[in-house]
Structure 1
Amino acid sequence: MNVGDHVGPYRLVSRLGAGGMGEVYRARDEKLQRYVALKILPRELAMNPDALRRFESEARSASALNHPNIVTIYEVNRTDDNIGWIAMELIDGEDLRTMLGGEPMTLKSALRIAVKIAEGLAAAHERGIAHRDLKPDNIMISRDGFVKILDFGLAKQIRRISSNDATIPQTMPGTVFGTVGYMSPEQARGREMDYRSDQFSFGVMLYEMLTRRRPFDRESKPETMTAIIRDEIPPPSHFNEFVPRELDRIVMRCLAKQPRDRYGSTRDVAHDLREVRDSLTGASSTKSGSAAASAADFSRKTGGRSGRRSTWLIAGAVVIAILAVLAVRMWMRTTSTSPVDSVAVVPFRDLTGTAEGRMLADGISEMIATRLAEVRSLRVAAPFDGAPVSDSDDLRAAARRKRVQALIRGSVQRGGDDVRVTYSLVRASDGGTLFSSTKTRPAAELFDLEDAVSGDLLSTLGHTAPPRPQTSPASMLGPGDQHRYVEALGLLKRVRDEQSVDRAIKALESLLGNARDSSDVNALLARALLYKSQIARRPSLVEQATLYAARAVTLSSNNVEAYVTLGDLQNQSGQHDEALKSFDRALKLRPNDSNALAGKADAYKGLGRGDDAEAAYKRAIAAHPDSAGALMRYGSFCFSRGRYDDAAAQFRRATELTPEFPMAWSNLGAVLQMSGKNDAALAALQKSIALKPTSGAYSNLGNLQFLLGRYDEAQHSFERAAELAPSDFVAWANLGDARRWSSNARARAKDAYDRSVAAARVALLINPKDAYTRASMAASLARSGSLDEAQAEIRRALEADPTNPVVLYKAAVVAIVRGNSDGAVSWIERAVRAGYPAGSLKSDPEFAAIRTLPSFRSAVESKG
């Protein structure tokens, strides 16, 4: 090819370069009147039709990538003589190789470029496309600063065919491809590789950007490849003391010899790099000034600019620090309220990379959120659930869901005997960072670390940190115990994981010897035992939890969490009058506490005060419109009243707020099924199970299958539900129903009903006033043949809650099993008037014998 030739619609204007990937030309698209980069592929590729087809298929897959940090491929085609060519976006700038050969980068520049490369890689990896030949030559930086990755996924087929690639010796086995010096160990061995190979190559590039040296370069290519496979290298900070420890960790994790020891997702690489970048951007506001020096003196340390230039940059860092503070103040002045009155704390990222590190990060972010919530003039949004919040788009969306002015995000890293917390204040409107800082303390002083971070954030937001009570863990736990308390806080974020709850209980019980008089320790242990009781359904756990909660409020009359936990336990035990008092005490201390408001509503519901309950639920949601928990509780209230459309609206809103919350999807599926929207119900239940298989979701799925007459399928779903929650009376009752109507398991129905009755009796020991549990037990008793006891129990359930549509339905079940058709019809009519769905009754096999009766048809049509 020569300048002036035409390739398809493109006229070659000038030659830009050549290499193993072929020749690259600047070309003009005569049709669209634009310039492109045109890559003419090696002729050797045209000599192997199968390889050319594979290459074209792979190139077209890469052309589907649409990301600001990946060069766009416009077209893939061939010339008349079968020479392949690719038209792609033309970048006016220089490649990273050229940039590395010039003046040394500042740390800020290196991180800016690295973040963009990682984001581009992550986008491709999520589409199943790996680069396989990542190196500085394949990274372009435009004149206006945009970073672009070239040649995605294109190297593999060319490497296998071309014998002219200068980067790989011709004697090397054909299965090895890539560029020596940037290969991963699995590439160098010629083994199968995936996206994590790109992480290794990226780590090599980042190492070179930070130190101006390639970590595995040796005198010959074979020695270089041997070094990649075997040699351990020092971290970048060994050659550049201004590289932060967090950045060392990221680089060295990318350079792990085994793929399994690298990142599970390249998106996490990008996120961790952003955390370091953001911490350096704002860390100049810390007292030590070391981060400012790090950013300023980086180029001087790597052998670049003059001392005068570095001095100017240090002064500039001070100016930046002042401007950062002024930016927060200016923003606060231009918002509708000053100081900031609403924030959300995004769960802090763990940079340690261990299970203990994750618990530590969860615990510290929980402590910070709790401390901020103690300020009456500041609304702290409900905790985040589900997928992590990472990039600016996620942050803006999260802020909209939480309806807050600002977000607080951060990371936690344990290194030796120290713990470092990096945190930032993010503007809700555009995801921009307003303020960032770092605090480091010994691991034995975690409460002092949280106090420093919380105080700094509150001061920046324009609020004053409240004093700690004398009975707080900070004043009562010694250095060796603080870590266990924070770990327990982190573990209890996983309340549906019995193993995590057990570990939290064990950690907290071990603290009672030294902190028996700590209200917070007693309250947290009570909360952990409450969670355990909801999983295991043992009355003794409720009794234990109640004792610790009562002790917590005795030790401190200002502990909101203790009063809320005590109220929840009293509600669970049917002591609703006492629960109201506990929640009122909590609300006196914190008037808009979402959990206290929703708990008070539950107490009203238990007392049969429906209007008061409705008002309290709505107040809880108004105070915290971002709280999925309040929405779920109000949705359950609506469900119990037969208001299925209202219930669906609450559960649907909960799924929008927390898309990864399986219970929200399960509840939505249940209410949609009750409304006859079976396809939508099935989709919601499948989503719930895909997120996390739970007993509730499988029970709801089984109910849907049961009402569709698919009894064998329903039996399988109910068996799974009972396996996941063996103490759940609902799962066993449902399984008995499915077996009773299935084609091959009728004889085993009684066993399931008996187990349901036993589990219900245990549940009634905890709360004897629970009409739903008693009515369900009555139905199981009737179906297992205990007709007189069933009649006595359903009578007690109706006395406790005579308007509950499910209780009325269970009364109809007891009547029909006892052979009382007229009684069954009467209860069905009352159930339908109370809100029970008539469509379910029409397909319920229990009432098949009376379905043709005019009185039955009239009863099921008695409402709407």
Structure 2
Amino acid sequence: MDAHPEDRTRVKAVLQRAMELEGAARSTYVADACAHDAEVCQQVERLLAAHDRAPTSVVPPALTMIDVPPDALVGQIVSIYRIEELLGRGGMGEVYKAHDAKLNRPVALKLLAINLAHDTERLRRFRVEALALSSLNHPHILVVHDIGDHDGRPFIVTEYVEGLTLRQRLMGAGALPMRDLIDVAVQISSALMAAHLSGVLHRDIKPENVMIRPDGYVKVLDFGLAKLAGQHDHDDAVQWRTRQGLIMGTPQYMSPEQARAEQVDFRSDQFSFGALLYELATGRPAFARRSLIETAAAVINDQPDALGRVCPQMPPTLCIAIQRCMEKEPSRRYDTTRDMHRDLLAVREHPMEVTRATSPIPGCDAIVVMPLRILRSHPDADFLAFSLPDAIAASLADRHTIAVRAPLAVQRHGGADADLVTLADAMAAQFALTGTLACVEGRIAVRLQLLAIPAGTVMWSDARVATLQEMFELQDAVAAHVALTLPGSVVATHVGAQLRRDVPNSAGGYAFYLRANQLAYEVSHWHEARDLYRACLDADPLYAPAWARLARCERLIGKFSASADESKACLASAREAFERALALNPDLAVGHSFHAELLIDVGRADDAMRLLLERLVIRPNDPDLYAGLVPALRFCGLLDESVAAHARTRSLDPTVPTSIHHTWWMKGEYRRALAETYGDIGYMQGLALASLGREREAVAALRRREGETTESRIRPYLASLRALLENDRDKSLAALESASALQIDAEALYYLARTFARLGEGDRAARELQRVVEGGFWCHHAFERDRWLDPIRPRGDVQQLLERAREQAQLARASFVRWRGPSLLGLAITNASR
């Protein structure tokens, strides 16, 4: 960028003193004098290099070059481009906004600085940038329109991008919100993946070289230090260092191998990208020291502050991805940039990883309970690697002063083989329970350790050898020892009895249970998951969690998949399974959470809310109970409270899914709704896209899900919205009628009612809205802001329905306050929820 007057004065002062010195003394002085201003350092370095290389007849004296007017070309014609304004000035030259007279469009024109026209190295770099950009064709990489020469000065013409660099964005607003960060990360990684697949390394990834448009669209700029496939590394040290021994570029974003002037490959860009994301997330550079030399040394030797502590709201998967990019050794980074991009896509597409707080209660510590490592395998005992720590985690969840990261959550981040410190940091845990499992001659040996993280201090350890049945009986003692060693109060007195209720008694049955859990949140696998839960219970009929999860599957199949007759049978089976689960264990949190969903289905959302709040008084750290509150509160019209319940769920266990995407949509937060649609039947993805004005994408997504689903109740539901977006009124109405006849969910009926209204079917829309309110969906804020309901809003019957919804929501709010909801969710008591 063009220097301000005070910067030019500073450049002159530093330059004048530097010209009196030679060799290492000059290098050291410049590095220290410009320690906090890379731009001033680059200007001084450039001027010194030009002064040393050429006589004054070719290049003006260094001190006079500072005062060359930066806007001398404004108003002139370069080739077919009329120069309109100076956009910036850097080490390579000036960038202007220009007008393409031939195609009548704005462009950006980058012109090599006049004093560098005879600089062989700078000319080479300028041509490399032109070649790199012209060889790439990707939506997130700046597009090259033209390459030419003006009075002996080469220029590159690119698309003109309206927006801010990420540096400007950081300076103006600080760290990016987490969802913006994830979106930016995915776009940049997509660009880097395309460049690397084309054999192009960027080698200068930093905030100044990425622009973000007002609509959030990202463009990667400035390939001036790029390296193309086939380019000879004739002298990498010369390319990366000036005569004075100063590192070119911006050291805090260089990879360690780059800072050491070693040969680099695509993994160097990964490191720079990780450093960029670190700064976008925290608002401060990962490596920033007093001088450029100290900064380069920090890049090579030091570790930045742990992301899990500096940025506690970061999803664990994103934290791990960034840390992997920033590994000092290239071999520990991603094998391909495609793998890196896929990991970031997974962060964006899996809502269960996206929102996390450090702990559910202020000042509360957290423990990550690791699956056991199997040292000697045996088919009848290996299931203990999960079931034993899972039972201990369930026990510890009763404590009010500790948050528990359960083994199933750990498994999503590498399981027992994951790096413990990295994992604990990503999951914001201060303690870890680890162990090993071995089966020797019919007996089971278990060794456990409780560690303080990151020091690795052993706080407690134990080794047990027992039979399979004895191992179940020993779980109570193990849980009690762990609980008493941790900071805080003693373990609840009822934990032992609960623990014995919630342990499996069959290795084969537990294997069925674990596999069913993996499938149960995908619509296409509901039937398979149901069969696996049944197989588990055939082998182990006293295992309460399996009864609860079977009940959930029966409910979902009956609600969304089965025929009318089959639906009644499924829902009856669901009620029976819930009763079995809660009879075996009245304190089973997942049982109460799923049972609450059944209450919501029959129009009793307020009772579901009360049930869950009652249980949370006893188990305030249980994520399943908070997850159940998300839909219950939404149905009651308490949207902010629903969001708070989701956040508390994620803080306790990022793997527990919720229906938060519907809550975000009801609040008008369509981008957030779209980001959370993983596991949805497909309707919300299409609706959120359409609400964002991306109707073509919405139609494609809905059509794809229609083709994928085998569920009879879901297909017309999807088709009704898809046909409306395609302006096919008749097909949309036909699908609506079919979906309405099959649908029993009050929230789903609301989506149908608004679609009827959009199509001008006022009477039909009003009848559906009556079913909505009578069915227990009282989200009046959504009704009031929904423009699709505008045609029927003035009707008297509709006004009565809206008033009834408001009244029911007010009653539900009073119950929420009475049952300690605000304190459990950390909310202030207010009179309205938007």
Band of TM-score, shorter chain: 0.3 to 0.5
Give TM-score scaled by structure 1 length.
0.43
Give TM-score scaled by structure 2 length.
0.45
Q: Which is richer in helix?
A: 1
Of structures 1 and 2, the one scoring higher in RCO (CA 8 A, sep 6+) is 2
